Amino acid sequence: MNNTKNILEIEDLNVSIEKKDILKNFHLKINENETHVIMGPNGCGKSTLSKVLAGHPAYQIKNGNIVFKEQDLVSMPPEIRSHEGLFLAFQYPIEISGVTNYDFLRIAYNEKQKYLNQKELDPLEFMELIKNLLVNLKMKTEFLNRNLNEGFSGGEKKRNEILQMLLLAPNLIILDEIDSGLDIDAIKIICEAIASYKEKKAALLIITHYPKILKYFEPSHVHIMSNGKIMKTGNLELIEMLENQGYESLLNI
Averaged pLDDT of the chain: 88
Statement: residue 82 has pLDDT above 60: yes
Q: How confident is the model at residue 116 (pLDDT cuts 50, 70, 90)?
A: very high
Kindly report the CATH number assigned to the domain that includes residue 174: 3.40.50.300
Looking at the chain, the number of H-run helices and the number of E-run strands are 7, 10
Domain that holds residue 174: 6-251
> Is 225 inside a domain boundary?
yes
Residues 155 and 162: their CA atoms lie apart, in Å, by 11
pLDDT of residue 253: 54
pTM over 0.85: yes
> Is 1 inside a domain boundary?
no
> Is 209 inside a domain boundary?
yes
Total domains in the fold of the chain: 1
Q: How many residues does the chain have?
A: 253
Alpha helices in 10-122 (DSSP H): 46-54, 78-84, 101-115
> Is 69 inside a domain boundary?
yes
Element at 14 (helix H, strand E): strand 6-17
Statement: residue 219 has pLDDT above 50: yes
pLDDT of residue 1: 44
Q: How confident is the model at residue 199 (pLDDT cuts 50, 70, 90)?
A: low
pLDDT of residue 159: 85
Reported as a single tens digit per residue, the pLDDT across 18-44 is 989 999 999 999 999 999 999 988 888
Statement: residue 67 has pLDDT above 90: yes
